[in-house]
């Protein structure tokens, strides 16, 4: 009779990482081998030298790793690698209570002061394997020494969308009395957990009697941007998804980490919900995924960016110090809302969710709508810095525009339901009740390319350049439309407080059709502008300065020699030009110039072009930034180029040659005597008779 096959659970019982009671031993060294046996697929991560804002606005599909040699490209600012937990305590508050993760139980119910945690860290051997993963340091001396990557500051909702006049985030002193609160004595069970006092029976499963809820401050930004993680060797954090579907940046200051990752597919999220509802102490999450887990090793100085929704676990082989932070972006709205739905189905406690998630969503919607509304106010042919800055602030990528549309639809559903979804609060107080639906209607209209003016009759008066923007209901409307689109040659459809003279529907659609096509193209051209090496830019500006100085000397010499004044120096102009269709990279083509770059005399002579070499990065949108020579803007195309301005020696030599070779003009002949009139002759004769007499 053949041997009976055993299931996964029966096979796991014989593994050293499973105890006699059939439960996993997370703090056992053999547990890492069990995880590695499930990490059978190759890691889908990518390694880059840097992560730009454009990468974040397009969205991360897989985890990104920036190794230690390239960490300066991220714009990080970190303390010295020799930072110790004692330094962390001195730079924050040594008496503040912090949650301690018991690796064996995978719970954070017990708390201890930072001072006691330092005593535990400095002791060897340690009584238990413990971990600190949720110490937020914003508003402390240590927090001032830590700076998130540059791209996080540009896309994070907490940094960009939260009102600028809100009070800054401060460090939460829990149980120490430093902030004026009541001092909570350190529990004896916490000291026994850290190994500072002998263990007694029942301490392993006993939790703290005092529970502290992380009550979010409604006026301050969410405190999720700067965390310090202090992990001893053998620490393990079980599989989880970061709250609210946030993305994570993770920098290893000292030590090493091993990350186990699983993509947020529908099957994996369903397996995650089944595993969470079941007994997490009997099977690993990898068994629910039939081994489809990948592993990534991080060393000192490495930085990892985990996209929204990725299911991950962390193992610490040696004592490690790590800094990280969570952030929400417009490009990951589908994944963020999906994780919120998973949290709803699992009945996650409010204190374990993203703080003030509903307010952050509303603020992000309003700020994105303001930027989009402001970009629609400019004409596509407007090459001013203000126009291009508005185009760059507006949601321009496909991921951001689809995320804004989905976010508006989600918030509309929360308003229509009898109660708000779990984890989503009411709109902030800055938004009046009569403005919420009108604001969502305005966002839907702007995503179609329409400038937002119709919402005035619904109670919202919009001005895109305002700091409050759509979040205020007392602003005046002053919508700018290109002058050539208006029948009365007026630059505004509505004056402040005035009434409409004409129905602006058709004019608004025509203006938006022109500006809407340039939203993505402007972003691509701006990226190409930023990609210009600073060496080339400095060299180009140096040549321009030398040319201007030489021309000024030549003009001064001509004036000193009493020669005709030299014409003014013609300077090249920088402009964004549209390439002809069907061009290839490296091809030399003649690009037509807009009339705004031409002089009045050149405009009367017909269209003008400039010759450029097409770069590869300009092909997707067929827009590139060109430094147009002055001759192309002033001289007829095809005419010979004018001679360069003469030098001082040439001007002096030419003047001397002209003085020597020029013939002297002949003397002027004396004019013939003029014949006097009869009256003058009669007067002369009468005068002579009088003198004779």
pLDDT tens digits, 610-664: 888 888 777 766 777 788 887 777 754 444 455 666 777 777 787 777 777 766 6
How far is residue 636's CA from residue 634's CA, in Å, rounded to a whole number?
A: 7
- Its pTM stands at 0.62
- In order, the DSSP letters of 399-416 are HHHHHHHHHHHHHHHHHH
Q: How confident is the model at residue 476 (pLDDT cuts 50, 70, 90)?
A: very low
Quick check: 75 pLDDT over 80? Answer: yes
Identity of the highest mean pLDDT range in 165-174, 306-315, 559-568? 306-315
3-state SS assignment for residue 312: strand
**pLDDT for residue 297:** 93
For residues 467-486, average pLDDT: 35
Quick check: 561 pLDDT over 80? Answer: no
Q: Model confidence over 391-424: pLDDT tens digits?
A: 888 888 889 999 999 998 888 888 777 555 545 6
498 versus 15: the higher-pLDDT residue is 15
Q: How confident is the model at residue 509 (pLDDT cuts 50, 70, 90)?
A: very low
For residues 52-73, average pLDDT: 92
What letter would DSSP give residue 603? H
Alpha helices, DSSP H only, in 194-265? none
Quick check: 327 pLDDT over 60? Answer: yes
Quick check: 304 pLDDT over 90? Answer: yes
Q: Model confidence over 411-461: pLDDT tens digits?
A: 888 877 755 554 565 666 555 443 566 677 778 877 887 765 433 322 333
176 versus 435: the higher-pLDDT residue is 176
Is the CATH code 2.60.120.650 the one for domain 12-79+150-162+223-352?
A: yes
**What percentage of the chain exceeds 70 in pLDDT?**
71
How many angstroms separate the Cα of 140 from the Cα of each of 26, 169, 183, 642? 33, 10, 20, 64
Phi first, then psi, for residue 226 (nearest 5°) are -140, 110
CB-count exposure of residue 214 (10 Å: 0-12, 13-18, 19+): middle
247 versus 594: the higher-pLDDT residue is 247
- Strand 64-66 vs strand 46-47: parallel, antiparallel, or unpaired? parallel
Q: Model confidence over 655-689: pLDDT tens digits?
A: 777 777 766 667 777 777 777 778 888 888 888 88
**pLDDT for residue 83:** 92
For residues 527-549, average pLDDT: 67
Q: How confident is the model at residue 62 (pLDDT cuts 50, 70, 90)?
A: very high
For residues 102-128, average pLDDT: 87
506 versus 361: the higher-pLDDT residue is 361
- Pick from 40-49, 312-321, 672-681: least confident: 672-681
For residues 74-91, average pLDDT: 92
**pLDDT for residue 182:** 52
- Pick from 384-388, 488-492, 548-552, 580-584: least confident: 488-492
E strands, 452-572, are none
Handedness of CA 89, 91, 92, 98 (dihedral sign): negative
What letter would DSSP give residue 459? T
**pLDDT for residue 314:** 94
Quick check: 585 pLDDT over 60? Answer: yes
For residues 137-161, average pLDDT: 90
Please, what is the average pLDDT of the chain?
Answer: 75
Identify the residue whose tokens are 């929704």.
309
How far is residue 370's CA from residue 272's CA, in Å, rounded to a whole number?
A: 38
For residues 343-360, average pLDDT: 86
**What percentage of the chain exceeds 90 in pLDDT?**
24
Q: How confident is the model at residue 15 (pLDDT cuts 50, 70, 90)?
A: low
How many angstroms separate the Cα of 485 from the Cα of each of 393, 445, 491, 493? 25, 20, 9, 10
- Strand 573-578 vs strand 623-628: parallel, antiparallel, or unpaired? antiparallel
Contacts of 643 (CB under 8 A, 6+ apart): none
561 versus 124: the higher-pLDDT residue is 124
- Pick from 283-297, 316-330, 611-625, 629-643: least confident: 629-643
Query: Whats the size of the chain, residue-wise?
Result: 693
Domain extents in the chain: 12-79+150-162+223-352, 357-523, 571-639
Quick check: 86 pLDDT over 90? Answer: yes
For residues 205-211, average pLDDT: 39
Q: How confident is the model at residue 477 (pLDDT cuts 50, 70, 90)?
A: very low
Are 438 and 460 in contact by the 8 Å Cβ rule? The answer is yes
- In order, the DSSP letters of 341-365 are HHHHHTT--GGGS-TTHHHHHHHHH
282 versus 249: the higher-pLDDT residue is 249
Q: How confident is the model at residue 23 (pLDDT cuts 50, 70, 90)?
A: confident
For residues 134-159, average pLDDT: 91
């Amino acid at each position: 009779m053949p041997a009976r096959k055993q299931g996964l659970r029966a096979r796991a019982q014989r593994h050293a990482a499973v105890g006699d009671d059939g439960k996993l031993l997370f703090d056992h060294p053999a547990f890492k081998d069990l995880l590695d046996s499930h990490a059978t697929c190759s890691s889908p991560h990518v390694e880059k030298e840097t992560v730009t804002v454009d990468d974040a606005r397009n969205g991360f599909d897989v985890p990104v790793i920036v190794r230690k040699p390239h960490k300066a490209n991220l714009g990080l600012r970190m303390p010295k690698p020799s930072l110790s937990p004692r330094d962390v305590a001195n730079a924050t508050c040594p008496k503040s209570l912090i949650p301690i993760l018991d690796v064996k139980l995978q719970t954070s119910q017990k708390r201890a002061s930072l001072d006691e945690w330092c005593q535990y860290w400095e002791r060897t051997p340690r009584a238990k394997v413990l971990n600190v993963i949720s110490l937020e340091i914003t508003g402390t001396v240590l927090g001032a020494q830590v700076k998130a990557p540059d791209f996080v500051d540009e896309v994070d909702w907490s940094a960009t969308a939260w009102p600028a006049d809100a009070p800054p985030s401060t460090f939460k002193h829990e149980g120490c009395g430093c902030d004026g609160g009541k001092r909570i004595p350190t529990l004896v069970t916490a000291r026994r957990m850290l190994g500072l006092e002998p263990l007694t029976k029942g301490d392993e499963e006993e939790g703290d009697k005092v529970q502290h809820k992380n009550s979010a401050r409604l006026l301050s930004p969410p405190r999720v941007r700067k965390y310090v993680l202090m992990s001893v060797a053998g620490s393990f954090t079980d599989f989880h998804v970061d709250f609210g579907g946030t993305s994570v940046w993770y920098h290893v200051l000292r030590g090493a980490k091993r990350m186990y990752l699983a993509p947020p597919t529908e099957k994996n999220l369903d397996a995650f919900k089944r595993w969470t509802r079941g007994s997490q102490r009997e099977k690993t999450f990898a068994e629910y995924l039939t081994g489809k887990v990948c592993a990534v090793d991080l060393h000192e100085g490495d930085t990892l960016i985990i996209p929204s929704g990725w299911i991950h676990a962390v193992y610490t082989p040696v004592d490690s110090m790590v800094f990280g932070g969570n952030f929400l972006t417009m490009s990951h709205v589908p994944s963020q809302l999906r994780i919120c739905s998973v949290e709803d189905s699992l009945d996650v406690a409010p204190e374990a969710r993203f703080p003030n998630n509903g307010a952050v969503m509303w603020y992000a919607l309003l700020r994105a709508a303001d930027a989009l509304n402001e970009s629609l106010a400019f004409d596509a042919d407007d090459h001013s810095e203000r126009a291009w800055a508005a185009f760059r602030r507006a949601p321009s990528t496909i991921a951001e525009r689809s995320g804004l549309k989905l976010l508006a639809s989600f918030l509309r559903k929360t308003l229509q339901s009898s109660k708000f979804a779990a984890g989503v609060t009411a709109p902030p107080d800055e938004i009046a009740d009569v403005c919420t639906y009108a604001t969502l209607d305005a966002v839907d209209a702007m995503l179609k390319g329409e400038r937002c003016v119709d919402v005035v009759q619904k109670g919202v008066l919009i001005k895109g350049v305002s700091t409050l923007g759509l979040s205020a209901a007392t602003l005046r409307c002053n919508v700018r439309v290109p002058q050539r689109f208006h029948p009365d040659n007026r630059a505004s459809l509505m004056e402040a407080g005035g009434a409409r003279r004409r129905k602006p529907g058709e004019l608004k659609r025509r203006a938006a059709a022109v500006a809407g096509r340039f939203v993505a193209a402007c972003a691509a051209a701006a990226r190409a502008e930023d990609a210009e090496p600073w060496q080339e830019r400095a060299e180009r500006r140096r040549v321009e300065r030398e040319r201007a100085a030489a021309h000024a000397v030549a003009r001064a010499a001509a004036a000193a020699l009493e020669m005709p004044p030299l014409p003014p120096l013609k300077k090249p102009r920088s402009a964004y030009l549209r390439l002809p269709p069907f061009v290839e990279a490296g091809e030399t083509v003649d690009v037509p110039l807009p009339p705004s770059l031409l002089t009045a005399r050149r405009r009367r002579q017909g269209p003008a072009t400039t010759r450029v070499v097409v770069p590869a990065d300009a092909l997707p949108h067929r827009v590139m930034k060109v430094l147009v020579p002055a001759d192309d803007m002033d001289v007829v195309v095809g005419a010979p180029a004018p001679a360069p301005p003469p030098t001082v020696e040439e001007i002096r030599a030419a003047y001397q040659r002209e003085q020597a070779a020029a013939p002297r003009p002949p003397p002027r002949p004396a004019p013939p005597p003029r014949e006097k009139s009869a009256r003058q002759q009669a007067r002369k004769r009468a005068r002579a008779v009088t003198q004779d007499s």
